[in-house]
A and B are shown apart, each in its own frame.
Chain A
Amino acid sequence: MDPKDLRFTKSHEWIAPDGTVGISDHAQHEITDVVFVELPKTGRAVKAEEACAVVESVKAAFDIYAPVAGTIVATNEEGAKNPGLLNKSPYGEGWLYKIQMTTPADRES
């Protein structure tokens, strides 16, 4: 994905127009070698800015916040198996999960 098309949060997550979420190149650099990724279960409803994933290095753990409210519809199992992808390709193969944004209609119901 081209970073130009992404929207970034203050806490260094990115979200693509299709709802794919990941961490920024700056974030992966600060975290250093990612050794573990904990992903949310698909189907989980999250609020905006809710911590819903964790990225670990050897010496630290970082909460990853949902950039928008919505439902988790897909997660990157390959990234969970091979956490180095988050370092190698933060905007590509190292994505975390895909979120379906809550629509205004959903909010009313």
Chain B
Amino acid sequence: MNGEKVVEPLSFEKSAPGRKGLPWPVCDVPVIQVDKQIPANLLRTEPAQLPELSEPQVVRHFTRLSHLNYSIDTNFYPLGSCTMKHNPKVNDRIVQIPDFAGLHPLRPHELSQGILEILYEVERWLSEICGMDAFTLQPSAGAQGELTGILVARAYHEHRGEKRPVVLIPDSAHGTNPASVALAGLTAVTVKSTADGQVDLDDLLQKLTKDVALVMMTIPSTLGLFEPRIQDIAKKIHDAGALLYMDGANLNALVGLVRPGDLGVDVLHVNLHKTFATPHGGGGPGAGPVGVKKALEPFLPVPRVAFENGVYRRKFDRTNTIGRVHGFQGNVGVLIRAYAYMRLQGAEGLRDISENAILAANYLKAKLTPLFPKMPAGACMHEVVVSGEGAFGPGVRTLDVAKRLLDYGYYAPTIYFPMIVPEALMIEPTENESKETLDHFVETFRTIIAESKATPDLVKTAPHTTPVRRLDEVRAARDPRLRYKP
């Protein structure tokens, strides 16, 4: 590879012709000639060049790759907004029960009663937790949930004969919000934030015209703050004929403490992989169920799960539905895990989790305050967002400090988000990290800040102990090499 050093060769580079990892059984039916049945022009001309490896080689290759990752199972992973909490091991066992794993999505309902009961209950419990009237479990991820929620809201307005082309989104929102709005054919208009990170109410009210279909708010906000005026804001939104959408990325701070529906939220999505502890999997799969108030229920995607006369069924007969967003029922494996998580915890356990997540974030905030001149005052919810400005040595940026944390065995917090906070660090400890870990994390921060002043280059060139060091991202983008070529 042009003399490049390699941490672990690609599987393709370990391949040798004729090697086999998985023998198939001998064909036990009379063999017919393939090319008699399929004309040559429809057949593949040369086999796909897949690697040829033995099973032990494959197992070792991927196990060695796994060692190059930081993960919750191995490291504190304080990635703000992503809620990197422990994923219960029992759930791995549950989803592999053969009678779950083998469930075909088009089974008739009489052969799907167990799984339909689970889906039905997940819908009901999410409704209960969120104070909503109905849920769809179909969306595969938060962003697809957003699209679904916006399409449902749009359909609701149009059904009432109203054309409302605008969606208001605070400038602190996740990038998926405006992207989902665009995909739904609406126009995103940005609402400013005030200096303390809350929505600028004057700006919101000024933009809250008859054209507004929806106001999308992340609650608690991406700054980890609960908007104390939320009920009043909801009322003003409703008075203007618009709906309040809650980006539920941070629902894990509210479960059992307050119900979004009670606050005036009309539609929301929940990221099950965050709040309900399903594995993030290196970037998915997640699940983004969408909850709505009664008036929006007719527009939810089909199929819906119903329980009638003691039998669970999938229902397709919804004339006002927005249609389907998933080829089948959604990420059911993720939904089973969320079901199991809720059953393990019960209502009290879920609330206890929220409270401990908030406690840990505020503890971390208190301990970090002496290190950060721009630490905002007051309590936060489940995560603490702070600007790195003024905290580090000359020329050292938040990015450098984040990279240096990797050297100490911590994954980096979310950085440079939300965009309204300069040099932002967004730290989310979750309820799982012990006081000892949190204390050690703070001490590490103290050490790195001292390093940034005494030996700034050490920090600016970090990381030093990871499998690879800083990457040339410009090279990657200017000359994209996106696949192995022999």
Q: Which residues of A contact B (CB under 8 A)?
A: 33, 35-36, 56, 58, 83-84
Contact = CB atoms under 8 A, between A and B. Distances in A.
B195 interface: no
Contacts of A36: 477-478
Q: List the 6 closest pairs (A to B, CB-CB), nearest first.
A: A35-B477, A33-B474, A58-B473, A35-B478, A58-B477, A35-B474
Contacts of B474: 33, 35, 58
Q: Interface SS of chain A: helix, strand, loop or mixed?
A: loop
A35 B477 CA distance: 6
Contacts of B478: 33, 35-36, 83-84
Given A35-B477, A58-B477, 11 more contacts: A33-B474, A33-B478, A35-B474, A35-B478, A36-B477, A36-B478, A56-B477, A58-B473, A58-B474, A83-B478, A84-B478
Interface in B457-486: 473-474, 477-478
Interface of B: 473-474, 477-478
A58 B474 CA distance: 6
B304 to A, nearest CB: 40
A51 to B, nearest CB: 15
Contacts of A56: 477
Nearest to B416: A59
Contacts of A35: 474, 477-478
Nearest to B477: A35
Contacts of B477: 35-36, 56, 58
13 contacts: A33-B474, A33-B478, A35-B474, A35-B477, A35-B478, A36-B477, A36-B478, A56-B477, A58-B473, A58-B474, A58-B477, A83-B478, A84-B478
Nearest to A56: B477
A35 B475 CA distance: 8
A83 B474 CA distance: 11
A35 B474 CA distance: 6
B32 to A, nearest CB: 52
Contacts of A58: 473-474, 477
B474 to A, nearest CB: 4
A58 to B, nearest CB: 5
Contacts of A83: 478
Contacts of B473: 58
A81 B477 CA distance: 12
Nearest to B478: A35
A56 B474 CA distance: 11
B478 to A, nearest CB: 5
A63 to B, nearest CB: 15
A84 B479 CA distance: 11
Nearest to A58: B473
A60 to B, nearest CB: 11
Contacts of A33: 474, 478
A83 to B, nearest CB: 6
A36 B473 CA distance: 13
Nearest to A81: B478
Nearest to A87: B474
A16 to B, nearest CB: 26
B396 to A, nearest CB: 18
Contacts of A84: 478
A106 B452 CA distance: 61
Nearest to A83: B478
- Of A35, A83, A84, which is in contact with the most chain B CB atoms at under 10 Å from its CB? A35
A33 B473 CA distance: 10
Nearest to B479: A35
A36 B475 CA distance: 11
B450 to A, nearest CB: 28
